[in-house]
Amino acid sequence: MKITVEDVEHVANLARLQLTDEEKSSYATQLSAILEYFDKLSEVDTEQVAPMSHPIDLENVFRGDQAGESMPPQAVLANAPEQAEGCFQVPVVLDQEGTAGEST
């Protein structure tokens, strides 16, 4: 598939990119070469290859959730800049009406 300068201009316009005429010509040539490599893939005989969703087997590497002991509240709050009643104290984000409030 041949990419034209007009194709590059169209994509550049969609991406809001400003390209020089030299860049447009260069990108058209480079993108055309890349697509030629993809065209070579259609020449490969894949008749005996089973369809797959991924080239390698995927395996979940996450461990299962396990309940454990929590840290004591004093240790958790030890480095908190401000705390009140055993909780982190943070600036007000919303006022009573649910609109942006001022920090107190």
Which pLDDT score, from 0 to 100, does residue 101 have? Answer: 60
Q: Is 5 exposed, middle or buried (0-12, 13-18, 19+ CB in 10 A)?
A: middle
Domains delineated in the chain: 5-41 (1.10.20.60)
At residue 93 the predicted structure's pLDDT band, cuts being 50, 70 and 90, is: confident
pLDDT at 17 over 80: yes
Q: What is the pLDDT of residues 20-58, one digit of tens each?
A: 999 999 999 999 999 999 898 888 898 898 888 888 888
DSSP codes of every residue in 4-62: PHHHHHHHHHHTT----HHHHHHHHHHHHHHHHHHHHHTTS--TTSPP-SSSS-----P
Among 70, 60, 2, which Cα is nearest to 32's?
Answer: 2
What does pLDDT average to over the chain?
Answer: 88
Could you tell me the sign of the dihedral formed by the alpha carbons of 78, 83, 84, 87, in that order? negative
**pTM, full prediction:** 0.46
Q: Spell out the residues 6+ positions from residue 87 whose beta carbon is closer than 8 angstroms to its own.
A: 77
Q: Spell out the residues 6+ positions from residue 27 whose beta carbon is closer than 8 angstroms to its own.
A: 3, 8, 19
Which pLDDT score, from 0 to 100, does residue 95 have? Answer: 77
